[in-house]
Chains A and B, each alone.
Chain A
Amino acid sequence: MKKTFRRWLDGDIDLMENITRTAHEHDMDRDEIKKRKKAVSEIIRQREDSQSIILAEEKGFRIFYNIAAIISCVMLITVLLYCVANLPRFGQENVKATVVTQRYIEKGLEETGAVNIVSGMILDYRAFDTLGESHVLFTALVCVMVLLRKDWKNMNSKFEDYSSIRSDRYFQTEKDVILQTIGIVMVPCIFVFGTYVLLNGQNSPGGGFSGGAILGAAMIIFTAAFGFRKVDRFFTLKLSSYVTFVALSFYSFAKGYVFITGANGLDNHIPKGIPGAILSGGLILPLDIAVGLVVACTMYGFYSLFRRGSIGGG
C-alpha cells in the first residue's frame, strides 16, 4: 500500500484510471451492468475466501512448525544428555568396549608404521572399507556422467535446443579481475597445501580424502576464475578415467596382496620404514595418493559435469 502511494506521488500510476475508464460505458444496459457487478463481486468474494483460507493455513502451519521444532529440539537434547549421562567416566576402564580401540592405540604404530592412528586404521586395518568408499565415489561419478554428459542423444533433442543452452559459451561470464587476482595468489598455495596434506597423511591429520578434496577444490576455484579452457589443456576425460582406473586397480591389487599374505601367515615384504618419515607406514602413503587422486578427479568431474556436461571439453 505504501509503495503504491509513493508511486502515485511520483506520478508513475494513476489511481483514478479505472473510474475514468468506466465512466464512458454508461450507455450500457442496466441489467447488464447489474449482472456484471454481481459476477465481479462474486469473483472478488471467492478470491477473498480462498486467500483467507490460505492465510489461515499459513498461520496454522507456522504454529505447527514452531511446536514441532520445539518438541524435536527438546527430544534431541534429552536423548543426547541421556547418552552423555550414561557414558563411562573419563579415565575409567571399560574393558568390553575398548578392546579394539586399545589394540589400535597400543599396537597401531608398531603394526602399521603410521604415527597418525586414524590413517593406520582406515588404510591398514580397515582398508577394505576405504576401498569401498573410493569405489562409491567412482560409481557416483559414472552415474553423473551417464545422466548429464553431452552426447548426440541429448544434444539433438526436438524439444529444446540443448546444444546452445549447454555449450561452453553460454556459461562464459565476464572475466572478473578480483577473482582472477585472488586466484593467482591463492590457487598455488591451495595446491601446495593439498599436496602436503595428501603426502603427510601417515604422520599428521589428513590423508587421502581431505587432501584430495583440497586438490579438487583448488581446481574448481581455478576453473571459476580462468574458465574451463585453461584446465582442459591438462585435465581431459581420458586423463581423468586413466587416473581413476589406475588408482583404484592399484589399490585393489596392493591391498589384495597384503590381505592374502596376511591371512595365510606369510611375510608381505613391504618395508615399514622409520615412523615419522615421509616414506614410512608401508602401503599407507601410496594408498593415500590413490584415494586422493580419485577424490580430486571426482570433485572436479562433478563440478564440470554439472556446470557444462562434459569433462575436459569435447
Chain B
Amino acid sequence: MIEWIRFWITAVLLVIGLISFAAAVIGNYRFGYILNRVHAGGIGDTQGLFFIVLALIVSCNAALDILKLALLVVFMWNTSPVSSHFLSQIAYYTDNELWDHVDRFKVRSHPESEEI
C-alpha cells in the first residue's frame, strides 16, 4: 500500500517536472527575444529540476542519496539564477533596441523610455 502511494507521488511529481521542462523548451523556441528566453529557460532549471529531484527523493531509500539529491537542488538553485541574471544583464547593457521589445505604454515613466 505504502509502496503504491510512493509510486503515485513519484509519478505525479515527475510529470509536473517534465511539464516544466517542456514549458522551458517550448518557450525557448517560441519566444523571440532574449529576456523572454532567459525567463523560459530559468523555469526549467529551477522548477523542473526541483520537482524531478523531489520525485527521486520520494522514490529512493538510501539516506546518502537523499542528501546528495538535496545538495544538487541547493547547488542548482544557487547557480542557475546567477547565470540567468548575467545573461539578462549583458542583454540590458548591450542591446540598443531593448525598448522596442518593452510595452512602451506601461513603462512611460521610465527615464530611458523617453529618449527613444
Name B82's contact: one of A3, A179, A189 (CB within 8 Å).
A179
B100 close to A182 (CB less than 8 A): no
Q: Is A270 an interface residue (CB 8 A)?
A: no
Tell me if A182 and B86 are in contact (CB < 8 A): no
8 Å CB interface, B77-92 against A: 78-79, 82, 85-86
Given A182-B79, A185-B78, A186-B78, verify A3-B100 contact (CB < 8 Å).
Answer: yes
Residues on B with C-beta less than 8 A from A176 are 86
What chain A residues lie within 8 Å of B86 (beta carbons)?
176, 179
B33 to chain A, nearest CB (A): 15
CA distance A30 to B105 in the complex (A): 48
Measured between beta carbons, the chain B residues less than 8 angstroms from A185 are: 78
Write the A179-191 contact mask toward B (1 if CB under 8 angstroms, else 0): 1001001100100
Interface residues on A, range: under 10
How many of chain B's residues touch chain A, expressed as a range?
under 10
**A159 to B15 CA separation, bound complex (whole angstroms):** 60
A3 to B75 alpha-carbon distance, docked (Å): 44
The interface bits of chain B over 23-65 (1 if a CB of A lies within 8 angstroms of the residue's CB, else 0) are 0000000000000000000000000000000000000000000
Dominant secondary structure of chain B at its interface with chain A:
helix
Residues of B within 8 A of A87 (CB): none
B82 neighbours in A (Cβ, 8 Å): 178-179, 182
**Within 8 Å CB of B100, what residues of A?**
3
Residues 22-81 of A at the B interface (beta carbon under 8 Å): none
Min CB distance B31 to A, Å, is 19
Q: Output the least CB separation between B62 and chain A (Å).
A: 16
Within the complex, the shortest CB–CB distance from A3 to chain B, in Å, comes to 7
Instruction: Across the interface, name the chain B residue whose C-beta is closest to A190.
Output: B75
- Which B residues are in CB contact (< 8 Å) with A179? 82, 86
* Per-position binary interface string of chain B over residues 83-116, scored 1 when its CB falls under 8 Å from any chain A CB and 0 otherwise: 0011000000000000010000000000000000
Question: B85 contacts which chain A residues (CB < 8 A)?
Answer: 178
Taking Cβ atoms with an 8 Å cutoff, the residues of A that contact B are 3, 176, 178-179, 182, 185-186, 189
Q: Which 9 pairs from chain A and chain B are nearest by CB?
A: A182-B82, A182-B78, A178-B85, A178-B82, A179-B82, A186-B78, A186-B79, A185-B78, A182-B79
Q: Can you offer 8 A-B residue contacts whose CB atoms are under 8 A?
A: A178-B82, A178-B85, A179-B86, A182-B78, A182-B79, A182-B82, A186-B75, A186-B79
A179-B82, A186-B75, A186-B78 known; 11 new pairs, CB 8 Å cut-off, are A3-B100, A176-B86, A178-B82, A178-B85, A179-B86, A182-B78, A182-B79, A182-B82, A185-B78, A186-B79, A189-B75
